[in-house]
Amino acid sequence: MKIVNNASKLILTTLIISLVSCGVSKPFQEFDLKSSFTEMMTETENLEVCLPPIIKSSLPLGENVTLSLEELESSIATLPPLAWEKAEELPFPENSDPRIELINPRSRSLTLWFRVQEQSTISFWTYSLETQKWNAVASPSKVDHYFFDSESQLWFIVEGNVELQFYKIDQAENKLKEMLIIDASKLNNRILDFAYSPDHSLWVIMSNPTTLNQILVNLDLQTGKVTDHVTLSEYIIGVDTDEKGNVFSLNNKGVVERFNPKAKTVSYTYLSPKSSYWNAGETEFFFTETGQVYLNDLAWFENDDYSSNLHLIFRSTVFVTQTDDGSGSFVWESPEPQAETEDGRIWYKSMRGLAWHQPETGEWCMFTSAKSNIVKDSQGNLWIIYDNALYMLPASETSKQE
């Protein structure tokens, strides 16, 4: 036994010496605030550049929180998407200070959609990746909600005191078509959140006029019929549907309900009661192509008809940021997952910037300070907006390494 142990130690020592002599490459490095981007690109070459956390060890609470110089620099640092290709300048004048949102459609295509807000005016645009042409999309003068149906048609919802109006774009003629008008009282005059279902209905979170709880109802887009949906809790805070029409809702007690409308079956997934920060920010479901359901950066579980084991995710402190209410306080944000790539990475949007997570290694990287949605086209390329321009990460950069 001693001979075997000594031999093992000798082999291990040899391996360590070899690694030290050869050097161990890092998959990414943190963004150095004091070095220029030119120096960074020269030094790092193909390595990913990442913004460091503002605060690394503990989250300060209270009104009299002060930042060190390093933390202050980190909080205001900007970082372009260095590994991405600048593809197209946006056609909107910067002096008008428009709020431009890249829309994530239900299905992938070679058309990018945009929502543009200039003061009180909202417009919608498309950009064809095949023809490189921009087109203005017909839309109502007032838009409260919008969504894509299963045929990638864009719908608009206009809320009024008396009725709710539903419009769809006739893309062939670029004209609005009125599809449905319902009594606003059916949804208590306001839609809090909703998700489109492939059976041509909406699952809507509305306020119960009697109890003021947030309940879940189903709205048939063909007939306008509203049907109550019974859940474990009378306070629903999030809802979404997968491509098969299964309905996922999250209540204020941390229980996820998965409802299969065809089979009329229900399964539940219970979030850890110790994860009291699970509702820090908007609750977003994300469905991977390999059959997992992600809840922000908090947890994931298998998308099946049975109560699945919950996997808690080790979160990153890079999402600790200052709130935008002027109070100077901090929040550990739960970012929104928006895309998945072939190499297994999940891509997130947050208040501070955009990041990716590699579940296989546990790595996190905030690769840009861009405030943009992340859209994946039908060829697997990723698209974002930064500094009034479109940037693209080719699918070849995120392909699975053999």
| 351 and 299 within one domain | no
The kind and range of the H/E element at 70 are helix 69-76
What pLDDT sits at residue 328?
A: 62
Residue 77: domain span? 1-133+314-402
Structural domain count of the chain: 2
Of 166-170, 182-186, 206-210, the one with minimum mean pLDDT is 206-210
According to DSSP, residue 202 is labeled: E
Amino acid at 136: A
Task: For residue range 3-27, list pLDDT tens digits in order.
Answer: 334 444 333 344 333 433 343 334 4
Task: For residue range 126-147, list pLDDT tens digits in order.
Answer: 999 999 999 999 999 899 999 9
> Domain boundary residue among 258, 288, 308?
308
| 290 and 248 within one domain | yes
Which residue did the predictor score with more confidence, 268 or 6? 268
What pLDDT sits at residue 278?
A: 46
| 36 and 73 within one domain | yes
Task: For residue range 309-367, list pLDDT tens digits in order.
Answer: 889 999 999 998 877 766 667 888 899 999 999 999 999 999 999 999 999 999 999 99
Amino acid at 203: W
Whether the Cβ atoms of residue 386 and residue 81 lie closer than 8 Å to each other: yes
Q: Which CATH number characterizes residue 289's domain?
A: 2.130.10.10
> Domain boundary residue among 308, 336, 368?
308
Q: In whole angstroms, give the CA distance from residue 273 to residue 76.
A: 34
Rounded average pLDDT over 140-164 = 94
pTM of the model: 0.84
| 283 and 388 within one domain | no
**Backbone conformation region of residue 296, classed left if phi is above 0, alpha if psi is from -120 to 50, else beta:** left
| 13 and 80 within one domain | yes
> Domain boundary residue among 268, 290, 308?
308
